[in-house]
Amino acid sequence: MLTYDQDGFRRADRPHRIVSGALHYFRVHPDLWEDRLSRLRAMGANTVDTYVPWNFHETVPGKADFTGWRDLGRFLRLAQSLGLDAIVRPGPYICAEWDFGGLPARLLAGETLRLRCSDRRFLTEVDGWFDQVVPELLPLLASAGGPVVAVQIENEYGSYGNDTAYLRHLEQGLLRRGVDCLLFTADGAEDAMQQGGMVPGRLATATFGARPAERLAVLRRYQKTGPLMAMEFWIGWFDHWGEDHHVRAVEEVAGSLDELLAAGASVSFYMAHGGTNFGFWAGANHTGSRPGERGYEPTVTSYDYDAPIGEAGELTPKFHAFREVIGKYLPLPAGPLPEPLPRITPALATPAGTASLLSGLDVLGGEPVLRPAPEPMEALGQSHGLIHYRTTVTGPRPAMPVRIDGLGDRAYVFADGAPLGVLDRNTPDEGLDLAVGEADVVLDILVRAQGRVNYGPLIDDRKGIRRGVRHGHQQLFAWEIRPLPLTDLTGLDWTAAATATAAATATTPAAATGTAAAGPVFHRFTHVLTDAPADGFVDVSGWGTGLIWLNGFLLGHYDTQRGPQRTLYAPGPLWQNGDNEIIVLEMERPGTELPLRDRPDLGRPTVVTLQ
């Protein structure tokens, strides 16, 4: 058991220092869990720290899955077999640059439920989650012989709110269900954040990336005695689309680590190994104060985080620098360091057909639902993907702008099948001129959802169209809506012409600007792998923006129009000896080649200095 007294942590009734690293099982292919955990242990860590994202496990509303990639127990037992304790952070909110901070999208189906507070309806949902996740944890607690020595009550709550009744409900909910290990809170090393997030009588910890002495002094004001712990010591940073790739100077962050450990503190690196935001799981930030303001910033697919263990398991210079520092304070594990994993032989994937998305609506989305006004995808039971809206605009009428109120996140607009242009949530006042002749016009709007905001006051981030569509000042009603979750692409017709709308675009404003020139199109590629499956990287630098699947698995988003990331990580377990299928859904600017690389390109690096 892990306990603490006025002098610090104790493990098996001996003085103990935690040197932990965050490593999220949900960002790593399960066949690679043991490899990544072994690298964490080789760095000198004695503990692994992981969140548990509610929305990743809730595959059916109200029912959690803990099998396969979601087998939390298997991950934690692997950690224990390698000599690692575990810190578990089960939410309900995790932030983590993860879609909606780990909350299930269905909580946004209505307008009145208040998140992360003692709203009775939210507490009922949280209790349902705890009823499912805590039984998974109980046999893994240290008291039962398992690796879990500590469980977090909520995550950086002081950065969001100050509802003490909510925090007490979470604390008591864990205790009532049998969690008997150390409980703790983690908040920024600022007075307001500690005040809002701490739970009296429970261990308070801090999250920061620099100036350890100053940050620990703030924490000591609230954790009066006992151990001081940096529960998140930010040793790198994450990237948004449209930014450079963030890195932190090795010497600077290793020096801060040395200072922190020399002060007697414990630490958990955020991240020790970042991994990948596969699928639709990447989150987003919003720098504005209101939903309609410019400032939505989706997170990229890679979560490399400039961590000591790279996205594909690389042992970076930061790994070796950290290991040297840790070795000054703790004994390092014996034996050689893990070897690099094999990489695929660079090659070009072979084109094997195209399919128009708009021509495949019935296959991808089935029968449309009819609504008087547009509704967001959550109201229709959809969590991720695209969503399609269709209505008819009567004529004649002069050119007037089509505008979308409450767009989440990027809309491709078509008039009688011809691209009219693109609208983006960061430019909410922009419109696309549409004139209607004597005949009516069928207006199609295809909305691409990216990550839900995962941090700050605007986490209630609904996708699709939240409010309405106007032509001029007139609200447009009578809509057909098709959710397009893109979970099954097997029905696509690869023999159909993918450019049915392309001829109509040559004289449109969209074609003149290079925007949505041919409409969204699926591009199919194949690659015959003659060697053993190994890690690879799909090079999308010649493409615009969209999504990529490998053998039916969604690798994630790409957006080389904005950057920085130019390759997507394709881990070895997703490849197969022989034929492999890669599908690219290009939304705006199709490429001509799809190279497969043996190394990543995460974009131009820029050094960040945390305050």
Catalytic annotation present for 367? no
User: Does domain 2-282+295-326 fall into CATH 3.40.50.12780?
Assistant: no
Peptide bond into 400 cis (omega under 30): no
Q: CATH 2.60.120.260 in the chain, residues? A: 347-354+520-607, 358-488
Closest CA to 205 of 181, 222, 224, 230: 230
Burial string for 395-411 (b: 16+ CB within 10 Å, else e) reads: eeeeebebbbebbbbbb
Place of tokens 């995550």: 155
Q: CATH 3.20.20.80 in the chain, residues? A: 2-282+295-326
Q: Give the mean model confidence (pLDDT) for residues 117-127.
A: 98
Q: Is the pLDDT of residue 499 over 80?
A: no
User: Which tens digits make up the pLDDT trace of 393-435?
Assistant: 999 999 999 999 999 999 999 999 999 999 999 999 999 999 9
Q: Is the pLDDT of residue 503 over 50?
A: no
| The model's pTM | 0.95
Active-site position among 125, 156, 171, 297: 156
Q: What architecture (CATH level 2) is domain 347-354+520-607? A: Sandwich (2.60)
Q: Is the pLDDT of residue 513 over 60?
A: no
Mean pLDDT for the chain?
94
Let me know how long the chain is. Answer: 611
User: What pLDDT, on the 0 to 100 scale, is given for residue 519?
Assistant: 80
Start-to-end Cα distance in the chain = 35
Residue pair 92/129 in contact (Cβ under 8 Å)? The answer is yes
d(CA 335, CA 222): 41
pLDDT band at 496 (very low <50, low <70, confident <90, very high): low
Q: Give the mean model confidence (pLDDT) for residues 195-223.
A: 97
User: What pLDDT, on the 0 to 100 scale, is given for residue 518?
Assistant: 56
CATH code reported for the domain at 358-488? 2.60.120.260
Residue type at position 64: A
Angle between helices 72-81 and 120-137 (to 10 degrees): 40
Closest CA to 558 of 223, 277, 364: 277
User: What pLDDT, on the 0 to 100 scale, is given for residue 546?
Assistant: 98
Residue pair 591/603 in contact (Cβ under 8 Å)? The answer is no
What's the farthest any 2 CA atoms get from each other in the chain?
85
User: What pLDDT, on the 0 to 100 scale, is given for residue 511?
Assistant: 32
User: Which tens digits make up the pLDDT trace of 458-469?
Assistant: 999 999 999 999
Active-site position among 136, 171, 232, 378: 232
Q: Is the pLDDT of residue 311 over 50?
A: yes
What percentage of the chain exceeds 90 in pLDDT? 93
How would you write 225-292 as a 3-class SS string?
CCCCEEEEEECCCCCECCCCEEECCHHHHHHHHHHHHHCCCEEEEEEEECCECCCCCECEEECCCCCC
Closest CA to 584 of 538, 544, 547: 547
User: What pLDDT, on the 0 to 100 scale, is given for residue 111?
Assistant: 86
Catalytic annotation present for 293? no
